[in-house]
Structure 1
Amino acid sequence: MIRLVTATAVALITSLWACAPAWAQDDQKVILVTVDGLRWQEVFHGAEARLIDDESVTDEPDDIRARYLEPADPAAALMPFLNGPMASQGVLAGDRLAGSCMRVTNPHWFSYPGYNEILTGRADPAIDSNDKRLNPNVTVLETVNRLDGFRGRVRAFGSWDVFPFIINTERSGVPVNAGYSPLPDDGRPETAMLNSLMMTTPRQWAGVRLDAFTHQAALLSLKHDKPRLLYVAYGETDDFAHDADYDAYLTSAERTDAFIAELWRTAQSDPFYAGKTTLIVTTDHGRGSRQRRAWTAHGSSETAWDRLTGQDWGRGSDQTWIGLIGPHIQVGASPAPGQCWGADQIAATILGALDLTGEGLMPMASVAFPGVLNSPT
């Protein structure tokens, strides 16, 4: 028998709903993606002609030029998702040539300090190396994982094997799969195959696995674990740049853009995520840009490399970029003229996108990006 709901009952339900925790109302999710050391110059303007023509860093200039420089829109040729759906349906900020400013606020301009800033919402000058030391600071992943409705629904996957220390798995309880650590055996054939491939594929770098493994692991988690906060940290771009391999750096950037697009498509095709997920994409640092080979390096003028060489190789590597798309994101938002967004604002923006604003969860973190978050329609 169908029972009619009275106006009084509707009013009562509405009142109770309004008093419920925000995350119970909208059931929001966030996917955070970082692309290690990818410069804003390539993100917004595509491949750089002077580097393609430099035979010391580009092995196949004709092929690279045809793929990335000759198309009418070089930026879209390199990263079609970031410069397409993300830019048109969300936010893509950090193009210095267009007056858009995004930066890290830590004084070091390399990876561990950058990831700490992104994940904790504040720069910590005491984190001044990439050593495998457990992070004393609490990340947004750990904070969210402590909450009812989120506990056990936070996951992290990284190509770099330092992420278990950055996220401090011992204290946080957040599952982190990184480097060449195999995925836990869950009885699924896909997991077993991925582990087998990861263990038997030749290694390019000792502490950084190929991003394809990180991506496939994250996809499996997205499909089966249904995390409400997922962090995916790709790493190849930084390592290929350090290797002075511009061909591979560009190819990796294009491939990573396709990975990000697949994460977004997968989320939007799943009722658990569709219309309730915010995607945030950024980088941990920029790269040097003032000298011919400076793009291979990064770090502030206080780094050991600059002291050794007497040159400011890392100048400009505090300059970064960010993309955001989702139901909470105000399309076309950007830093105000003369203002610069900081990586320390990302953690609070994640909380806001999860409807966890006003909870006092991370009082030491900086504020969210102004004008970026709105209410889902």
Structure 2
Amino acid sequence: MKRKIFVALFCLGLMSLKGQDDKVIFVTLDGLRWEELYKGIDLELAKNKEYNKDMEAILKKFDAPTEKERREKLMPFSWSHIAKHGLMIGNREEGSKVDLTNAYHFSYPGYSELFTGYADNERVNSNNYVMNPNVTVMEYLNQTKNYKNSVLAFGSWDMFNYIINDERSKVPVNAGYMHSLNPKPSEKERWINQTMDFTPKRWGTVRFDVFTNLYAMEALKTQKPKFMTVSYCETDDFSHDGLYNQYITSANRIDQFIQELYEYTQQDPFYKDQTTFVITTDHGRGEGDEWKHHSNKIDGAGETWIMIFGPKTPKINPKNQFYNNQIAATIAKLLGEEFKSEQPIGKPIF
């Protein structure tokens, strides 16, 4: 009898620990429009020689007779797995809307809104290298009992150190052309460092997303964060360069990166069945020739989207109005925490 009681108590203890061990991987795709996610490639842009330097190959790979087929070709994991097992919000043609609340509709204010749950239009109003005065959900979680020293952030843009305010928050942020921050870098991380150093740089402040993904993957294996942010940026930078072929190729590649992250969590006991993914963007962009740009002067730049999948996927009706300022509190709630701030923040979506 005593043995049965001990086993029962032990199992209850394991269940309790599992509840404390909830994990979230938060992924952002900089400036990816809801139109590509839900409708696939924009044929007008794909057939424009000014924006598509490899038209024949791009159309062969991503074109199809219907929008449904085109979106499945562009983002195959999103539509084969996330759409079937998770939550997708932001298809405006079906009455599902996600919008920014910040006044600017470009990156630093967009990420600050995402990470802090608050649009600080007075103090966060540029892309200047200034430490964020607001507390992010990363910083908040890093101060909690369950998630202290178990928060990591990876980003292709070197601004993320400032957006997350790594000096104050003490959250390790690997961004831009930084090497691995792992106190005991693995052989793979040393190889990534060297390969990145020897790779030509297209943008001075933004590294290619493959390096961000490699660092993030290695961190899952060696550092085991409970909350990790991975911010890919090529979709925005190639857009500003006017290269639609590279924009959609990057979106397709990031879809594969997300699949890789997910498949790793499914074979690692530390993450398996305990990890929820939250995926979104920091802003939208314009249509037609304005596709290259985004600001508060461009229609569509404030329109975004959200995807969530994993064991804690919210059971809600996506055909409603949502906002990017709700995501920080949603992440905290998925982890069993309540994000509190000095500022009024957006409520969780569920």
* CA pair 60-322 structure 1, distance change in 2 beyond 3 A: same
Displacement of 1:236 in angstroms is 0.2
User: RMSD between aligned alpha carbons?
Assistant: 2.3
Equivalent-residue separation in structure 2 for 1:274 and 1:11 (angstroms): 23
Q: Is the 2:113–2:120 contact (alpha carbons within 8 Å) kept by the matching residues of 1? A: yes
2:203 to 202, 205, 209: 205
Equivalent-residue separation in structure 2 for 1:13 and 1:256 (angstroms): 39
* CA pair 157-61 structure 1, distance change in 2 beyond 3 A: same
Match of 2:346 in 1: 366
Q: Counterpart amino acid of 1:316?
A: G
Match of 1:122 in 2: 118
Which digits, 9 at most, give the CA deviation of each residue in 1:301-360, with x for residues without a partner? 2xxxxxxxxxxxx211100011000111135x3334xx4100000011101110114x75
Match of 1:191 in 2: 189
Displacement of 1:362 in angstroms is 7.3
Equivalent-residue separation in structure 2 for 1:158 and 1:178 (angstroms): 5
Q: Counterpart amino acid of 2:323?
A: G
Which digits, 9 at most, give the CA deviation of each residue in 1:118-139, with x for residues without a partner? 1001111121101110000000
Query: What's the secondary structure of 1:205's corresponding residue?
Result: coil
Match of 2:263 in 1: 265
Matches within 5 A, 1:1-377: 3-6=2-5, 25-70=19-64, 73-126=69-122, 127-184=124-181, 186-289=184-287, 292-301=288-297, 314-330=298-314, 333-336=316-319, 339-357=320-338, 360=340, 364-370=344-350
Which digits, 9 at most, give the CA deviation of each residue in 1:123-158, with x for residues without a partner? 111211011100000000000001112111000000
Displacement of 1:187 in angstroms is 4.3
Displacement of 1:99 in angstroms is 1.5
Displacement of 1:365 in angstroms is 2.1
Equivalent-residue separation in structure 2 for 1:195 and 1:40 (angstroms): 34
* CA pair 42-275 structure 1, distance change in 2 beyond 3 A: same
Equivalent-residue separation in structure 2 for 1:104 and 1:220 (angstroms): 32
Equivalent-residue separation in structure 1 for 2:205 and 2:21 (angstroms): 36
Q: Counterpart amino acid of 2:222?
A: H
Equivalent-residue separation in structure 1 for 2:45 and 2:262 (angstroms): 31
Q: Is the 1:82–1:92 contact (alpha carbons within 8 Å) kept by the matching residues of 2? A: no
Taking structure 2 as the reference length, the TM-score comes to: 0.93
* CA pair 227-97 structure 1, distance change in 2 beyond 3 A: same
Equivalent-residue separation in structure 2 for 1:287 and 1:219 (angstroms): 29
Equivalent-residue separation in structure 1 for 2:333 and 2:77 (angstroms): 24
* CA pair 257-299 structure 1, distance change in 2 beyond 3 A: same
Query: What's the secondary structure of 1:293's corresponding residue?
Result: helix
- Paired residues in the alignment total 346
Displacement of 1:71 in angstroms is 6.4
Q: Counterpart amino acid of 2:317?
A: S
Match of 1:309 in 2: none
Equivalent-residue separation in structure 1 for 2:175 and 2:340 (angstroms): 30
Query: What's the secondary structure of 2:144's corresponding residue?
Result: coil
Equivalent-residue separation in structure 2 for 1:131 and 1:193 (angstroms): 32
Query: What's the secondary structure of 1:4's corresponding residue?
Result: helix
Displacement of 1:202 in angstroms is 0.2
Q: Counterpart amino acid of 1:61?
A: M
Q: Counterpart amino acid of 1:149?
A: N
Equivalent-residue separation in structure 1 for 2:104 and 2:87 (angstroms): 27
Displacement of 1:27 in angstroms is 1.4
Displacement of 1:242 in angstroms is 0.4
Q: Is the 1:211–1:236 contact (alpha carbons within 8 Å) kept by the matching residues of 2? A: yes
Displacement of 1:237 in angstroms is 0.4
Q: Which runs of 5+ in 1 are unaligned?
A: 302-313, 371-377
Q: Counterpart amino acid of 1:366?
A: G
Q: Is the 1:211–1:234 contact (alpha carbons within 8 Å) kept by the matching residues of 2? A: yes
Displacement of 1:26 in angstroms is 4.2
Equivalent-residue separation in structure 2 for 1:171 and 1:137 (angstroms): 10
Displacement of 1:210 in angstroms is 0.1
Q: Counterpart amino acid of 2:213?
A: H
Displacement of 1:52 in angstroms is 1.2
Which digits, 9 at most, give the CA deviation of each residue in 1:221-264, with x for residues without a partner? 01110000000000000000000001100110100000011111
* CA pair 323-362 structure 1, distance change in 2 beyond 3 A: farther
Equivalent-residue separation in structure 1 for 2:340 and 2:103 (angstroms): 27
Equivalent-residue separation in structure 2 for 1:361 and 1:110 (angstroms): 23
